[in-house]
């Protein structure tokens, strides 16, 4: 019985000294939600907290998009701070262009590369499946047409105009 009380006391002690999560990434998603062939697709990642950052703005080599068959990978670059005192990054959604693809089903792996004390680290933020539809068929446009009665009235109008024009020429 004493072991259980000690375990409970130890668990409560750990709870008191536990730190809250300072940063997180949301599940990546693509926009537009239902892309069509040839339409540019972007990936969006919500970065919450203040310890993680996706920042490709200053580096012309990022993001890096690679494709093998229907598997696409986008490599983003950023930063991760482990010291809560230095968690100064903002929150928000980071949007990055992936490209335009033909009709088909695809998987997009979103990776983040950042520097740590051990060197460069690549972490997968998520894998998104999406389907690109073929170019939508143009919707039929309603064009006015004549029915039998309309053709008869048009014929009578043309004949009447011709007779009237020929009478004025004869006089």
Asked, for residue 48, whether it belongs to a domain, the answer is yes
Residue 94 lies in a domain: yes
Which residue ranges of the chain lie beneath pLDDT 50? Answer: 21
Q: What is the C-alpha to C-alpha distance for residues 53 and 59, in angstroms, rounded to an integer?
A: 14
Give the integer Cα–Cα distance in Å for 99 and 35: 11
Q: Which residues contact 63 (CB under 8 A, 6 or more apart)?
A: 56, 74, 75, 76, 77, 96, 97
Q: Determine, yes or no, domain membership for 62.
A: yes
How many C-beta neighbours within 10 Å does residue 107 have? 13
Is 69 within 8 Å of 102 (Cβ atoms)?
Answer: no
The pLDDT of residue 134? 84
Query: Are 98 and 41 in contact, with CB atoms under 8 Å apart?
Result: yes
Instruction: Provide the number of structural domains found in the chain.
Output: 1
Q: Which pLDDT value is given to residue 44?
A: 93
**157 domain residue, yes or no:** no
In a domain, 162, yes or no: no
**Residue 25's domain spans which residues?**
16-132
């Amino acid at each position: 019985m004493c072991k259980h009380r000690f375990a409970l006391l130890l668990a409560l002690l750990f709870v008191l000294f536990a730190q809250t999560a300072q940063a997180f990434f949301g599940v990546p998603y693509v926009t537009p939600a239902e892309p069509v062939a040839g339409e540019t697709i972007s990936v969006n990642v919500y970065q919450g907290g203040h310890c993680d950052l996706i920042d490709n703005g200053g580096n012309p080599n990022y993001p890096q998009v690679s494709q093998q068959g229907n598997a696409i990978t986008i490599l983003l670059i950023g930063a991760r701070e482990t010291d809560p005192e230095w968690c100064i990054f903002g929150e928000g959604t980071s949007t990055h262009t992936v490209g335009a693809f033909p009709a088909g089903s695809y998987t997009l792996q979103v990776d983040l590369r950042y520097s740590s004390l051990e060197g460069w680290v690549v972490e997968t933020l998520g894998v998104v499946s999406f389907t690109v539809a073929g170019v939508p068929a143009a919707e039929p446009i309603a064009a006015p047409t004549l029915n039998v009665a309309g053709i008869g009235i048009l014929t009578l109008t043309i004949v009447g105009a011709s007779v009237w024009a020929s009478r004025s020429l004869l006089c």
